Amino acid sequence: MPDYGSIVEYIVRRLVNHPDNVKVTSEYSESGAVMVTISTAPDDIGRVIGKRGATINAIRLVAKAASVKPGEKVDVDLA
């Protein structure tokens, strides 16, 4: 089973101006899905979201692609 939190953290740390402020947590919900939550500095949130949400959607796509083989469900949210 891949560590979805570290995959997302690797991507996000390279996007932002303050990589030390990036915190990524992952936990299982009661439905069995993996919930990955991203927390960044306030001025880096726009970089993670991207234009019309393109960047955060790409991050979600990478996490979901990693979850295909183990057959898990992954949700990525920005806090």
* Predicted model pTM: 0.92
| pLDDT tier, 2 (very low <50, low <70, confident <90, very high otherwise) | confident
- Spatial neighbors of 19 by CB under 8 A, at least 6 apart, are 13
Gap between the Cα atoms of 17 and 56, Å rounded:
16
- Residue 1's pLDDT band, with cuts at 50, 70 and 90, is confident
Residues in the chain: 79
- DSSP summary character for residue 33: P
Q: Could you tell me the residue ranges of all domains in the chain?
A: 4-78
pLDDT computed for residue 46 by the predictor: 95
CB 60 within 8 A of CB 76: yes
Homologous superfamily (CATH) for 4-78: K homology (KH) domain (3.30.300.20)
Question: pLDDT tens-digit profile of 18-66?
Answer: 999 999 999 999 988 999 999 999 999 999 999 999 999 999 999 999 9
Contacts (Cβ under 8 Å, ≥6 apart) of 29: 35, 75
Mean pLDDT, residues 11-19: 97
